[in-house]
Amino acid sequence: PNSIDNAKPGDIITLNILISDARNVFCGEIHLTYDKELLEPTENKLHKGNFLPDNAYILKNNIGNGKIDYAFGLMKPETSDLGILGTIEFIVKKQGKTNISFDFDNNSNRNTMFIERTSTGDQLPNVEQEPIEIDAPVIPKVSILLQSFPNPANNSCWIPFKLAEDAYVSLTIYNILGQKVKTIEVGQRKRGSYTKAKEGSAIFWDLKNDSGQRVSTGLYYYKLKLGKFSQTKSMVVGK
């Protein structure tokens, strides 16, 4: 329902955001506004609907001050005749009449996406995964790229990795469209663990592209290359 003129204070209103005739949708943003004097969300997030698969990336889920901003990205384009993008519940604070305005930005024309499996067959991690920092004095048995931290990153981030043998290290960062954003030539490194947030250890990124401009908010992929070995993971850049 988009009107609460028949509701009483204390009643719960459930709002389902439906999508229909969806063709090749792989990302989008939802923007809603509501009267905060009459309505209050029961939770501070929008719940994912059945249109979005389990491996969907939730890039933005902000609720407050009469506004709801929700953004998602998919591993591959989704097609559906009808589905629910998200669900939110409101509690009625007082009687009145209001409309919930709604806007959906569908980036379905962006039909390419850069996703790569690692050489060991691992899947890209969930972007909501907690940062991983490992402090191991032993020499790694295998080379591996670890999750960047902090994630999401707001000002800068560190990208940890481990080397099983000496190698020339380079890192390339791509946006969700697969376009190269930044290349960091780390140089020759000896085998060992590079997991600390300090110079000479994990790779530092100031969230700027090759032109020196701060990148926009969203999902990014970072690819570590060590000779013939390469591995890719994902991160989120916040505001």
Whether domain 12-106 has CATH 3.40.50.300:
no
| Residue 217 pLDDT greater than 80, yes or no | yes
Whether 144-237 and 12-106 are alike in CATH topology: the answer is: yes
Distance in angstroms between the alpha carbons of the first and the last residue of the chain: 32
The widest CA-to-CA distance across the chain, in whole angstroms, is 71
Show me where the domains of the chain are located. Answer: 12-106, 144-237
**Greater confidence, 83 or 163?**
163
Average pLDDT, the chain: 75
77 preceded by cis ω (within 30°)? Answer: no
Q: How many helices (H) and strands (E) does the chain have?
A: 0, 15
Tens digit of pLDDT for each residue in 135-193? Answer: 334 578 889 999 999 999 999 999 999 999 999 999 999 999 999 999 999 999 998 88
Question: Is domain 144-237 given the CATH code 2.60.40.4070 in the classification?
Answer: yes
